[in-house]
């Protein structure tokens, strides 16, 4: 299964941080508590972390995370 892409909606995210705990391999906390990925607002989720990513989407209290199209190229 090709990896999916997660998108952070910064207009919703309020740094509650549950996604950072669920995806420590992909996210760390920035200076202000917001999730910091390797690439800005969209980041690739390797297949073996897909379940954890799914949890992060479902557990974000403000619905700031969502999957977008499969990773291109």
Q: Which residues bind other proteins (CB under 8 A)?
A: 7-15, 30-34, 36, 39-42, 66, 68
The partner in contact with residue 16, picked from ligand SF4, other proteins, none with C-beta cut-offs of 5 to 8 angstroms by kind, is ligand SF4
* Strand duo 4-8 + 42-45: pairing: antiparallel
Q: Is 19 in the site for ligand SF4 (CB under 6 A)?
A: yes
Kindly report the backbone phi and psi dihedral angles of residue 72, in degrees, each rounded to the nearest multiple of 5, phi listed first: -90, 130
User: In Å, what is the CA distance from 13 to each residue of 3, 9, 37, 73?
Assistant: 23, 6, 14, 28
* Lookup: tokens for 14: 């309020």
The partner in contact with residue 23, picked from ligand SF4, other proteins, none with C-beta cut-offs of 5 to 8 angstroms by kind, is none
Site residues (vs ligand SF4, CB under 6 A):
8, 10, 13-19, 35, 60, 62, 64-65
């Amino acid at each position: 299964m090709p990896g999916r892409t997660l998108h952070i909606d910064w207009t919703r995210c309020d740094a509650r941080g549950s996604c950072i705990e669920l995806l420590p391999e992909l996210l760390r906390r920035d200076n202000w508590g917001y999730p910091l990925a390797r690439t800005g607002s969209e980041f690739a989720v390797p297949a073996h972390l897909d379940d954890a990513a799914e949890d992060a989407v479902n557990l974000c209290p403000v619905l700031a995370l969502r999957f977008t199209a499969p990773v291109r190229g």
